[in-house]
Structure 1
């Protein structure tokens, strides 16, 4: 039983070595490039054709070495013979890999007909790899030390590399406020500058994030308090209007015959004043509610950033969030409510002087509205 298992593992290992790195099947009509890597003739022709359509120079899909404008695909007779011997011995061929569930992710750079979602990005090879091609990639001893990152939409490998040296951006120059690689710090234009690691910048910005979260919480609390005050003003205005209206209705009932027209005019003025002030309060409430909702949304976004494990993505997203918050005003606005009141002493006096009161009604209402 153990011997059978050992033989199976040997056959599986040999089968992997005799598989095309593009289609992952046993080589069919294998050809070799000048760099020494071999592929199925049809696979490499499709890959090179895709490079030509994108107006890129020809390069090996494995090592990215430039191949020049004129290509010669040399048939690998020895590899072809080995594959035939292997097939004759095992009586089976490598079947195509089944497609995983489609996801909204970066496509694999090595899949041709139907690119599969990539699971890792190799910064050394500058390639995105699906699980099958990642296994091939990791199986090679020469690629064990390559830098692999989680494949992420919205963040390309080029963003993480130094444009001058092509190395991974692992540091930050505090003097120039730029992300740099190790070579930039040692022998590049940032030599002698104040250099810190991305981890240090990440930890520092986490502190800024905490301060921003606290500030947004205070803004949200202030907006909630302002809305409560507005609600109190609205209730006070409605109650006061109801009281004044009741007083005036009672007064006008006593002098209905003589002041009916004036009664309607005064009540209309009061309702208009209420409507005008309520409209202002309603408008301000909507504005405050919008600010509150925006503050809550920003707060949720900032709190979610705590879970971002990728320092680069965190810094990128947090900078955008800071810019959005700085461009918005979260201060609470207030409105002054004009409260109408009637003087009971004057009302008593005007009842005794009915004829004079009719002439004084306009003056009275002017004084009420001016308070």
Structure 2
């Protein structure tokens, strides 16, 4: 925890976000500087952006893949912070143990802290400080015992007005955003909106408390909504599984009909093949009978020419010869085969239109409330 003192504020080494002394001061492109940890917390709420908007001037700083880690260090501020810590005995001096005296070179255990001097003081320095009234009469000193016990805080000491020495900066000018004394309100902040420091701090605390409460409520609301989302996810998965089941059922039903249609079409083609085979066999059978008749007639005619033919034999020979002449002159009719071929080749399979294979559609049905 960094010290929150007016001395640090006067040196401009307080982070505008956490109001503590800068820790790993990182600088945006606009020049404004913040603690690295503060920027990381600020960036955590804007991880969807590739840039950071300055909380003070709203200028945009582009961020690389390393996000806040890639921002440059403000070495000037870092040097001031290091000097401040060295002068005040280091960070967490009060919490880490008994702080050492920074008012002398002996570095004995501190028993008090002087706000105006900005020094921890050992018993000897504290005694000398209290005795030198001409120099330190108006200085405010806090006992380290009270600080450790929590009854007093170094950061709670009221600063003196640098213009009007006796005056304390117990007032806050909302128009100028500065702490002032009563004399300042009369001379330099007339007609400005003024609040007492205690009232302002109470107002800020109440505002912070309200923000924390609302933040916790909002986080709880988001957590509840996340649970609702997961619950709805299960319902959605169930509904989608039902859709998939309906689609598969429709496909199976359509597939059965397509298979039945395939069996019917194959049966038709088999019947066509059978009929064509019968017609071709009939043509072949007719031709073979003609071949047999020609062979028989030729055999008889050939035998008849080897001897003298009698009347009846001559008559029979003449008849057979005439029949043979008729068979030889008979043209082979190819029209039947051609016609059969034509009928077969012109018998085509015409696929059904695409709509006949449509399983259906997945669509949203409007439900009237």
TM-score scaled by length of structure 2: 0.35
Which structure is larger by alpha-carbon Rg, 1 or 2?
Answer: 2
Higher relative contact order (CA 8 A, sep 6+): 1
